[in-house]
């Protein structure tokens, strides 16, 4: 930040004064060592230092540039002071909800309550964290500020187990939160950067009626990853009238309580006389079908599955990392896939589907226009990434059951079916899949349940369902069996 008129450096002042003296013709000897030159240089140094001091004083009057004690005096005008005391610190483990497969964001400052024998210990997350696609848990640092005169033990969790945590505002995509280890007391002094961030946030929130205040309120609900505001001057439909504002939410408004929480946050933060409507972003499903030439011609079943998963996770992660209105860049995506150990080339039979329709593989996907309020997402009802190796015909198996076992049993059944498929050739029968599933630990939960075995030909041969009336599927000589990447489906049957 520069004060009005800028900051003059020593060399600039010397040059300007000597030029002025020569132009006026009063003192003409301005060579180094002359009396005139010596006086000019001495005066210029003092003037340059005065400019620097004044610039520093000027910067100390703004939150963005003030430091140290000057920043303390500045925020004191707003009734705030630097946190300089004790904190209780620890870690919390956030676990993904079973049916959520994509990116899950955990905002900084997420409020957590842990029930103890003496009451409730209240914490907040110390930084933002993300659960990437395929990642089931993430560990996030947490802290609790100890107020002056407050007993620190109210926030300290002792050794002897882990604690279930209640989320003050439930986060979409998070199933549970636990604090696995004891928390500890430490001294803490708020840095200049943290103090600026906290005070500027208070200013934004207290202002009310500003877009920044509403944005912070919406993001604070934990139900939105981002928000775009539209008004009467914005392009696109619907066309808004003066005094109307539309908040387009980058989040799942179908989550129970999400719309209501966002609506309440807006009502508390918006100014009077403003009508604010809420809607979600539009989305286009983007699926990628890759035909891969591996570096080794004869891959083992386990190596084939490992390589397939690496490619799928790489591509799906690239799709889920896209922001609203952002296209997928094909060349960088191609480079990421080719950098995976075991991939030699991506063959021409590969394709990209937008809302089920094939589009050319160009520099940007989709090649046409993408609305600034549209997000490319992975399909909800089919794999986002299909990987086929050259010369391979792959059949996916998916088990559907009308019961919902506990997570341990679910994993055991899925693992038993996967082991059955690993080296299966010739034919596959309904009975042997059922026997493998029921033979897993806890698999007797399937007794009496309706079970459907769905086979999906990934080369476009359609779908087949194995059942007692159609009990055998004959495999071709090149067919490879593998489990569906999303695993079994529990509690619902295909229509």
**Does one domain contain both 171 and 110?**
yes
Neighbours of 439 (CB within 10 A): 13
Picking from 189, 220, 251, the residue at the C-terminal end of a domain is: 189
Whether 78 is covered by a domain: the verdict is no
**Does one domain contain both 182 and 93?**
yes
Please, what is the end-to-end C-alpha distance for the chain in angstroms? 64
Whether 288 is covered by a domain: the verdict is yes
Is the CB of residue 389 less than 8 Å from the CB of residue 303? no
**Does one domain contain both 319 and 414?**
no
Neighbours of 16 (CB within 10 A): 13
Whether 202 is covered by a domain: the verdict is no
Strands 374-377 and 184-189: unpaired
The pLDDT of residue 158: 74
Name residues whose C-beta falls within 8 Å of residue 24's C-beta, 6 or more positions apart in sequence.
Answer: none
pLDDT along the chain (495 residues), means of 10: 60 84 75 82 85 81 85 83 82 84 82 77 86 84 81 74 69 83 80 82 66 81 83 81 86 84 86 82 84 81 78 84 83 89 86 80 76 78 73 74 86 84 80 89 88 74 74 73 78 75
Q: Give the domain CATH number at 169.
A: 2.40.30
**Does one domain contain both 242 and 265?**
yes
Whether 1 is covered by a domain: the verdict is no
Q: Which structural domain, as residue segments, surrounds residue 35?
A: 10-59
Whether 3 is covered by a domain: the verdict is no
The pLDDT of residue 1: 44
Picking from 277, 295, 327, the residue at the C-terminal end of a domain is: 277
**Does one domain contain both 372 and 409?**
no
10 Å CB burial of residue 466 (0-12, 13-18, 19+) is buried
Whether 348 is covered by a domain: the verdict is yes
Whether 199 is covered by a domain: the verdict is no
Structural domain count of the chain: 5
**Does one domain contain both 382 and 418?**
no
CA–CA separation, 323 vs 302, rounded Å?
34
**Does one domain contain both 88 and 184?**
yes
Picking from 339, 356, 389, the residue at the C-terminal end of a domain is: 389
**Does one domain contain both 99 and 154?**
yes
**Does one domain contain both 288 and 385?**
yes
**Does one domain contain both 54 and 148?**
no
Whether 135 is covered by a domain: the verdict is yes
Q: pLDDT by residue (tens digit) across 290-312?
A: 888 888 877 776 777 788 888 88
**Does one domain contain both 14 and 33?**
yes
């Amino acid at each position: 930040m520069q004060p009005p008129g800028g900051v003059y450096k020593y060399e600039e002042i010397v040059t300007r004064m000597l030029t002025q003296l020569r132009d006026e013709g009063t003192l003409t000897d301005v060579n180094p060592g002359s009396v005139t030159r010596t006086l000019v240089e001495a005066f210029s140094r003092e003037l340059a230092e005065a400019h620097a001091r004044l610039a520093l004083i000027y910067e100390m009057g703004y939150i963005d540039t003030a430091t140290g004690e000057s920043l303390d005096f500045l925020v004191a005008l707003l009734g705030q002071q630097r946190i300089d005391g004790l904190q209780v610190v620890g870690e919390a483990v956030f676990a993904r909800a079973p049916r959520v497969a994509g990116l899950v964001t955990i905002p900084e400052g997420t409020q957590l309550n842990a029930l103890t024998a003496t009451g409730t210990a209240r914490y907040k997350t110390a930084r933002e964290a993300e659960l990437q696609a395929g990642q089931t848990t993430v560990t996030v640092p947490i802290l609790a500020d100890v107020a002056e005169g407050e007993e620190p033990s109210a926030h300290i969790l002792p050794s002897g187990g882990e604690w279930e945590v209640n989320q003050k505002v439930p986060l979409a995509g998070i199933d549970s939160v636990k604090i696995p280890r004891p928390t500890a007391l430490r001294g803490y002094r708020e840095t200049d950067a943290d103090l600026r961030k906290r005070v500027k946030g208070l200013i934004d929130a207290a202002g009310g009626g500003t877009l920044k205040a509403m944005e912070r309120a919406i993001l604070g609900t934990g139900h939105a990853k981002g928000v775009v505001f539209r008004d009467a001057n914005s392009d696109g439909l619907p066309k808004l009238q003066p005094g109307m504002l539309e908040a387009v939410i980058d989040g799942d408004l179908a989550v129970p309580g999400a719309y209501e929480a966002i609506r309440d946050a807006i009502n508390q933060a918006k100014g009077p006389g403003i009508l604010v409507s809420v809607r979600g972003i539009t989305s286009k499903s983007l699926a990628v079908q890759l035909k891969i030439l591996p570096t080794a011609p004869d891959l083992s079943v386990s190596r084939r599955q490992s390589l397939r998963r690496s490619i799928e996770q790489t591509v799906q992660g690239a799709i889920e990392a896209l922001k609203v209105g952002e296209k997928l860049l094909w060349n960088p995506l191609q480079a990421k896939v080719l950098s995976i150990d075991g991939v030699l080339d991506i063959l021409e039979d590969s394709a990209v589907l937008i809302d089920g329709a094939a589009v050319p593989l160009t520099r940007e996907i989709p090649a046409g226009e993408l609305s600034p309020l549209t997000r490319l997402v992975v399909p909800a009802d089919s794999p986002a990434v299909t990987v086929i190796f050259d010369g391979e015909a792959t059949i996916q198996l998916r088990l559907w059951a009308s019961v919902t076992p506990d997570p341990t049993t679910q994993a055991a059944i899925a693992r038993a079916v996967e082991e059955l498929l690993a080296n299966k050739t010739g034919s596959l029968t309904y009975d042997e899949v059922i026997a493998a599933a029921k033979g897993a630990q806890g698999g007797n939960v399937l007794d009496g349940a309706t079970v459907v075995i769905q086979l999906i030909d990934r080369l476009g041969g359609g779908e087949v369902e194995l059942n007692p009336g159609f009990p055998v599927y004959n495999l071709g000589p090149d067919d490879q069996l593998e489990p569906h990447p999303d695993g079994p489906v529990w509690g619902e049957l295909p229509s």
